[in-house]
Structure formats: structure tokens, C-alpha cells
Copies of this chain bind each other. A is one copy, B any other.
Amino acid sequence: MRRGEPDTAPNGRPDAPGGAATRPPSQADVAALAGVSSQTVSRVVSGRAKVEEATRRRVVDAMQILGYRANTAARALATGRFHTIGVLGFTFGAHGNARTLQAISEQAQDAGYSVTVMTVRRHTEGALREAVTALGDQAVDGIVLIDPQILDRPGLELPTGVPVVISDGNPDRRYPSVNNDQTAGARGAVDHLLGLGHRTVWHLAGPRDSYAAQQRAAAWHAALKAAGVPIPPIVYGDWSAQSGYEAGRAIATAGEATAVFAANDHMALGLMRALDDAGVSVPGDLSVVGFDDVAEAAFFKPPLTTVHYDFEQLGRECVSLLLRLIAEPSADARVAVAPTPLIVRGSTAPPPSRAGGSGRH
């Protein structure tokens, strides 16, 4: 790593085309050109201290001429801050996570932070865990955990020493979490269906290990209980349309349900498709409510009544909270939650009248 260049610079180093890669300009180079010391350059770039206007101009000009860019690594080494937050999850390809990540990225960028994504493989054991851990620590100032069930993996330790916030996670965990009001959303869905006259509402839940799925299921259960209506068994899916389709077949075969609340829109889509295949009309014979309000939901057939979920707000709040915790580790962890309004479209209606309702099959 030595420079290896003689101090008595011989006539111009070869900057010729195809020549040696020339080292990018450093603070010291700027300082030399501007005729100041390097820490004055530092003061100018950080803007944290007084610099006389004339000096400042000279420095800025020199930076311009040389095309100076601060070296992130050196800064991080000196300050101990990376100005980077890590986002840790199973996948960023899934709809909700992708939207949340985008919001996180924008919000972080506005605050001068960059975002590193760290994915942990779902079905991976052993050594890779350590790799993830090693990746995560020391290179980020804080972490947003976007798939909180990662915490359930034995042996996966999050780096200590940096704050962690959980997106859509269980609040009684060891880390602060940010949640939209899923409970209200699920309750709104159930109440809407009951209000239409359905005797009860079935639930097509997300995977058991997902906290979001758990919370939606719990709210569904509570709403039914509060209404004093019978509580059907939960049907489980894995968020995918395929799993929704399979659940739909089962529900159609059972032939009891008149209303189903699905824990996300993709499963609702598969569900509706299965019902259609089975000759059950939506919403004539059976009403369906989704969750998420994906951009495509309005164009399903029928257009899906669903709970709107604000992933963008979720991501932004995660960043805000995390930055507060980075600045002041004991900061207040309370955050505002976004509302989850029900968007009523065409997939819900009153239950079929008694006459034609029971023998439909």
C-alpha cells in the first residue's frame, strides 16, 4: 500500500491514455491546492465550523478542480459512524417487503444515510448464519428488521451495539417495533362483512410464523367474539395465490362459508379463482375481503374489497425511529401508526338469501 513514488516528482507522471490508475484526490491534495491545511478542508465539507468566506471559496474551487470526493471508509473509521442502515429480511422480492424497502431507502437517503440490504436464506443452516451476522455488524449504524420471525431462528444473533427496530413485529420483543394498525384493519374487514348480514366470517390466514399474520388472525378472532357469532376454523396459507387457491378449494368443498377474510390480496385472488372454478360466485354466493390493497386489486374480477395497508408509511416510520435511536439510544420509541381503511369494491355483498343459499354446491 505504499505510494512508492519518489518525493522529487520527475517530470509529470504518465497520465497518458491507458496509463496507471491515478489515486483519487484526497483532502490533503485539495488543501495543498487551496493553500490551506487539510482540516480546514474538513471544516468546509462538514460545514460544522466557521470558515472565512474567502477561504471557503478557495477550498470549494479546489475541490471542484480536483473532483474531490470524500472517502467514506476513512470518514467512517475516524468517526465510528457509517451513515448506513441495514435492512434485514428473508426476501425483498415479496410485495410488502419491496414497498417497505423502497420507502426506507428514500427516507434514509433524505437523511443522508445509505441502505444496505441483508437477506437471510429461509432454509439455510449453520455457517451462513455467522456470515450474515458478520455482514451485519460494524458496517451499519442501525438495523431495520423487516421479517421479524427471523428472531425465531435459533443461533442467529443480531449484532449488539447498534439499535434495531422491527417492522411489523411483536411489540413485546426485545426491540422496539413499528406497526400499522393491523388490528383495526382486520376488525374493519370483519365488521364490514357482518354488517352486510353474514352470520360469520371465515379467515384465510398467512403463515403461522408471521407476526403480521398472527395479528390479523387475532383481530379477526376478537371481532367475531365481540359480535358473539360462531368462530369457524382458521385456514392457513403462505401468502401466495397458489395457497389461496388450495384454501379456496377446501372452503368451496365444505360449502359452509358465505364470507372469507383473506390475510392478503394474493391469497384472496387465488381463493376467488378456486371459488369460480367450483361454481361459487363472488360476491353472489360468497364475499371475499383481502388485505394490503395492492395496485392490481381494483382490477381483479370481481374488484377486490380489501384493507389498505400503507407500507410506505411503515418504512418511513421505521427509519425515523431508527435514526432517533442512533442519535439518542434512549430515545422515546413511540411511533405513530398509519390507519388501515377498508376499501370497499365488488367482492363483498350481503349473503345469499336463505332460499337459494344452502343448496348451492
Contacts and interface: CB of A to CB of B under 8 A. Distances in A.
Interface of A: 1, 21, 24, 69-74, 76-80, 82, 84, 91-95, 97-99, 101-103, 105-106, 109, 114-119, 121, 131-132, 134-135, 137-139, 159, 161, 240-242, 244-245, 266, 269-270, 272-273, 276, 295-296, 298-301, 303
A335 to B, nearest CB: 21
Given A101-B92, A245-B299, A139 B114 contact: yes
A102 B109 contact: no
28 contacts: A71-B77, A72-B138, A73-B76, A73-B138, A73-B139, A76-B76, A77-B77, A92-B101, A93-B98, A98-B98, A102-B119, A105-B117, A109-B118, A109-B119, A114-B116, A114-B135, A240-B295, A241-B295, A241-B296, A242-B295, A266-B295, A266-B296, A269-B300, A270-B296, A272-B299, A273-B301, A276-B301, A301-B301
Contact of A78 (B1, B106, B118, B242): B1
Contacts of A115: 116-117
Contacts of A116: 84, 114-117
A57 B95 CA distance: 46
A87 to B, nearest CB: 8
Contacts of A77: 71, 73-74, 77
A235 to B, nearest CB: 17
A29 B103 CA distance: 40
Contacts of A78: 1
A68 to B, nearest CB: 10
Contacts of A300: 269, 273, 300-301
B92 A121 contact: no
B101 A241 contact: no
A299 B269 contact: yes
B72 A92 contact: no
